[in-house]
Amino acid sequence: MYNITLIPGDGIGVEVTQSARKVIDASGIKINWEIQEAGSKVIDKSGTPLPQSVIDSIRKNKIALKGPVTTPVGKGFRSVNVALRKELELYASVRPVKTLKGVSSRFDNVDIVVVRENIEDLYMGIERYVGNDTAESIKRFTKKGCERIIRFAFEYARNNKRKKVTAVHKANIMKLTDGMFLDFARKIAEEYKEIIFEEMIVDVMCMNLVLKPEQYDVLVLPNLYGDIVSDLCAGLIGGLGIAAGANFGENASIFEPAHGSAPDIAGQNKANPTAAILSGVLMLKYIGEAEAANKIENAVKKVLMGQKVRTADLGGNSTTTEFTDEIIKYL
Report whether 275 contacts 82 (CB < 8 A): no
Q: Is 329 exposed, middle or buried (0-12, 13-18, 19+ CB in 10 A)?
A: exposed
- Of the residues 123, 156, 216, 225, which is catalytic? 123
Task: Tell me the residue ranges of DSSP E strands in the chain.
Answer: 2-7, 31-35, 63-66, 92-98, 111-117, 127-129, 135-137, 164-169, 196-201, 218-221, 246-248, 253-255
- Of the residues 227, 301, 302, 325, which is catalytic? 227
Active site residue 111: no
DSSP annotation of 251 reads S
Which amino acid would we find at residue 74? Answer: G
Active site residue 25: no
CA separation for the pair 157, 90 (Å, rounded): 19
Active site residue 170: yes
Sign of CA dihedral 72, 44, 272, 113: positive
- Of the residues 25, 56, 108, 203, which is catalytic? 203
Report whether 312 contacts 270 (CB < 8 A): yes
Alpha carbon 45 to chain centroid, angstroms: 28
Contacts of 284 (CB under 8 A, 6+ apart): 24, 27, 29, 290, 292, 293, 296
How many CB atoms lie under 10 A from the CB of residue 313?
19
Q: Is 221 exposed, middle or buried (0-12, 13-18, 19+ CB in 10 A)?
A: buried
- Of the residues 10, 66, 91, 170, which is catalytic? 170
Q: Which active-site residues does the annotation give?
A: 123, 170, 203, 227
